[in-house]
Amino acid sequence: MAHLTSVHYPFDSRIFHKECRSLAAAGYTVTLVAPHVREETVDGVHMVPVTKARRRPERFWRVGREVLRAALALDADVYHFHDPELIPVGLLLKLRGKRVIYDVHEDLPRDVLDKAWIHPQVRRLAAVTVSLVEAVAARCLDAVICTTPSILRRFPSRKSVMVRNFPILGELASRAAVDYRERPFGAVYVGGITPSRGAREMVRAVASVPEGRKVTLVLAGEIEPDELAQELRMEPGWRRVQALGWLDRAGVARVLSEARVGLVALHPTPGYRNAYPIKLFEYMAVGLPVIASDFPLWRGIVEGAGCGLLVDPLDSTALAQAIEWLFAHPDEAEAMGRRGREAVRTTYQWDAEATALLGVYAKILGASS
Does the residue 186 lie in any domain?
Answer: yes
Instruction: Tell me, yes or no, whether 174 lies in a domain.
Output: no
Cα dist from 150 to 288, 317, 359, whole Å = 27, 31, 21
Q: What is the largest CA-CA distance in the chain?
A: 68
Coil, helix or strand at residue 273: helix
Q: What are phi and psi of 290, to 5 degrees?
A: -115, 150
DSSP string covering 118-147, please?
S-GGGHHHHHHHHHHHHHHHHHHSSEEEES
- What pLDDT was estimated at residue 44? 95
Residue 270 confidence class, pLDDT cut points 50, 70, 90? confident
The predicted structure's pLDDT at residue 62: 83
Domain identity same for 85 and 194: no
Mean pLDDT of 164-177: 85
For 51-102, write each residue's pLDDT tens digit. Answer: 987 776 666 678 889 999 999 999 999 999 999 999 999 999 999 999 999 9
Q: What pLDDT does 117 receive? A: 67
Q: What is the CB neighbour count within 10 angstroms for residue 199?
A: 24
Domain identity same for 159 and 30: yes
Residues 161 and 191 in one domain: no
Q: Which pLDDT value is given to residue 2?
A: 97
Q: What does the pLDDT look like over 249-259, one tens digit per residue?
A: 899 999 999 99
Instruction: State whether 151 and 192 are in the same domain.
Output: no
Angstrom distance (rounded) from CA 216 to CA 207: 10
| pLDDT computed for residue 152 by the predictor | 93
- 358: in domain: yes
Q: Do 335 and 232 lie in a common domain? A: yes
Cβ neighbors of 121 (< 8 A, separation 6 or more) are: none
Which pLDDT score is estimated for 57?
67
Average the pLDDT over 216-226 and give the result.
93
Q: What is the dihedral of CA 131, 137, 140, 142, to 10 degrees?
A: -110
- Tell me the mean pLDDT in the region 319-327: 96
Are 143 and 186 part of one and the same domain?
no
- Indicate whether 175 belongs to any domain: no
pLDDT (tens digit per residue) in 70-81 = 999 999 999 999
Per-residue confidence at 283, pLDDT binned at 50, 70, 90? Answer: very high
CA–CA gap between residue 312 and residue 317 (Å, rounded): 9
Asked if residue 246 belongs to a domain, the reply is yes
pLDDT at 177 over 80: no
pLDDT confidence band for 366 (50 / 70 / 90) = confident
Strands 261-264 and 186-190, sheet pairing: parallel
Confidence class for position 232, pLDDT limits 50, 70, 90: very high
Count: domains in the chain: 2
Sign of CA dihedral 100, 104, 110, 113: negative
Q: What is the pTM of this model?
A: 0.88
Residue 367: band (very low, low, confident or very high) from pLDDT cuts 50, 70, 90: low
Judgement on whether residues 148 and 49 belong to the same structural domain of the protein: yes
* 172 belongs to a structural domain: no
pLDDT per residue over 107-163, tens digit each? Answer: 877 777 777 667 777 788 877 888 898 999 999 999 999 999 989 999 998 999 999
Residue 213 has pLDDT above 90, yes or no: no
Q: What is the total residue count of the chain?
A: 369
Q: How many CB atoms lie within 10 A of CB 116?
A: 11
Task: Provide the residue range defining the domain that includes 192.
Answer: 180-346
What digits encode the pLDDT tens for the residues 7-45? Answer: 998 999 999 999 999 999 999 999 999 999 999 999 999
CATH of the domain at 76: 3.40.50.2000
Check if the beta carbon of residue 101 is closer than 8 Å to that of residue 79. Answer: yes
331 and 250 in one domain?
yes
Average pLDDT, the chain: 92
Q: Are both 342 and 356 inside the same structural domain? A: no
Is residue 110 assigned to a domain? yes
Contact (Cβ atoms closer than 8 angstroms) between residue 202 and residue 217: yes
Q: Which of these, 38, 45, 42, 95, lies nearest to 68 by C-alpha position? A: 95
Q: Please state, for a pLDDT cut of 90, what percent of the chain lies above it.
A: 77
Task: Based on the fold, state whether residues 146 and 239 are members of the same structural domain.
Answer: no
Contact present, 124 and 322 (Cβ < 8 Å):
no
Asked whether residue 295 falls in the same domain as residue 204, the answer is yes
Is 41 domain-assigned?
Answer: yes
Q: Is 206 in the same domain as 300?
A: yes
